[in-house]
Structure 1
Amino acid sequence: MRKLQQILLPWLLISVFLIILFQLYQGQNEEYTDQREDVGAATELHPTVEEKKNKLIEQAVTKDIHVVITDDVRSFERQEELYQQGRATDGEIVTYAQGGESYHNYGLAIDYALENKNGELIWDIHYDGNNNNQSDWFEVANIAKNLGFEWGGDWEGFKDYPHLQITFGLSIEQLQRGIRPKPAQE
C-alpha cells in the first residue's frame, strides 16, 4: 500500500498543479469572451473597431481626404461569394479567405476607398487629391495604423490595400471556435 501511495502522490500533486495553472491562465484572458454556443458571423462591427473607424474618417478629413467605408461586416455566405470570384465565377480574385476565414466575418475588419471632390470613388493607391505630394491612400493607411489597425497593404504576400483589421491578438481559428474580444469597458 505504501508503494502505491508513493507512486500516486506525485501524480496527484502534478494534476492539481496543472488544474490550478489552467484556472490562472483562464482568469488572465478576461479581455476575451467564450461564445462557443454562437460561432457564426458577427452582425455588426466590434465597438472598438467602430469607434476607430469613425476616428479614421474624422482624422482623414483634417488632411482633406475623404474616406468611404466600402465594406465592414460580412456574412459567411457573402465571404464565400467573394472567394469564388475569379475562381468559379467571373472577375478578378479579391480574397484568399473563404467564408468564416476573414476578420470581416467577425466584425473586426473594414475596407475603404477614397472619394474625390466630384463624389467618385477612387481605388488608385497613388491618388493625391489633397495635392501634398503624398499618396492619400498611404496617408489613410498611416492614420489607421496609428489608431491600432493592421493594414493589408503591409502583408508580405497578397497585398490587400483597402483592408484594415483589428484582431485583438485572436487568430481566425480562435474566432471560429467562438472566442471573441470583449467590448471595451466604459
Structure 2
Amino acid sequence: MKIRTFLIILIVFGAFYLYTQFQKYSSRPMPTELNSVVEEKMNSLITTTEERGIVIVITDGFRSEAEQNVLYQRGRSTDGQIVTYAKGGESYHNYGLAIDFALRNKNDEVIWDMDYDGNQNGESDWMEVVSVAKDLGFSWGGDFSRFKDYPHLQLDFGLSIQELQWGKRPRDVVD
C-alpha cells in the first residue's frame, strides 16, 4: 500500500512539474530565422572549408512549419521521394537550429556527391566538411540511426524537439 501511495504521489508531482515547465515556456512564439549562434558557426564552416579548397553551398537553413509540411508531403501526397520524416514543428530547421549543405564542384555545379575530392587531397570533401562542422559543435545527420540525412547539420544546444515544441529556446540553456 505504501508503494502504491508513493507512486501516485510521484506521478502527481511529475505531472505538475511537466505542466509548470510547459506553462513557463509555452507562450513563446516560434522562431522566424536562423539562430544567431548557428549562423555564426555556419559562416565559420563556410570560411574554414574554403581555406581547405572546398566550396560549400548552404541549401537550407531556417524553415517555417508550413514549408516543413510541404517537404513532409513529398513522396506521400505529392510526387517525389520522401525527404523527411519530420512534420512542421518536428524539425530543428523549424527552430533555426539546422542547416543543409551541398558541395560546389570545379564546373560550378551544386552536387551531393559524398565521394567527390575536388581539392585532391585524397579525402572526401563531404567528410572534410562534416569533420569541420563537428569541430564547430554541429551534429551530423549522417550519424542519425533512424533516417540518414547526409546534408543535415544541427546545433541543438541539448534541447529535444519536445522541449522546443513546449517553447524552450537555446537562451534558456545557455544563460
Query: Is the TM-score greater than 0.5?
Result: yes
**Unpaired runs of 5+ in structure 1?**
1-17, 27-33
Does the aligned pair in 2 maintain the 1:49–1:166 contact within 8 Å?
yes
Distance 1:128 1:170 in 2: 35
How many residues align? The count is 154
Does the aligned pair in 2 maintain the 1:45–1:107 contact within 8 Å?
yes
Distance 1:91 1:39 in 2: 32
Distance 2:115 2:29 in 1: 39
Distance 2:35 2:84 in 1: 22
**Which residue does the alignment assign to 2:28?**
38
1:133 paired residue among 122, 131, 137: 122
**Which residue does the alignment assign to 2:43?**
54
**How large is the RMSD of aligned CA atoms in angstroms?**
1.8
Superposed, which structure 2 residues align to 1:80-99 within 5 Å?
A: 80-99=69-88
What is the CA distance between 1:156 and its match in structure 2? 1.6
**Which residue does the alignment assign to 1:104?**
93
**Which residue does the alignment assign to 1:68?**
57
Q: Which stretches of structure 1, 4 residues or longer, exceed 3 Å deviation after superposition?
A: none
| Percent of matched pairs sharing the same residue | 59
Q: Deviations over 1:70-126 (max 9, x none)?
A: 000000010011011011110011111000000000000000001112221011111
**Which residue does the alignment assign to 1:121?**
110
Given residue 54 of structure 1, which amino acid in structure 2 is its aligned partner?
N
Does the aligned pair in 2 maintain the 1:66–1:114 contact within 8 Å?
yes
What is the CA distance between 1:157 and its match in structure 2? 2.3
Question: Which structure's relative contact order is higher, taking Cα pairs within 8 Å and 6+ residues apart?
Answer: 1
1:166 paired residue among 129, 143, 155: 155
Q: Which structure features the higher share of helix residues?
A: 2
Greater C-alpha radius of gyration: 1
TM-score by length of 2: 0.83
Does the aligned pair in 2 maintain the 1:39–1:176 contact within 8 Å?
no
Given residue 49 of structure 2, which amino acid in structure 1 is its aligned partner?
A
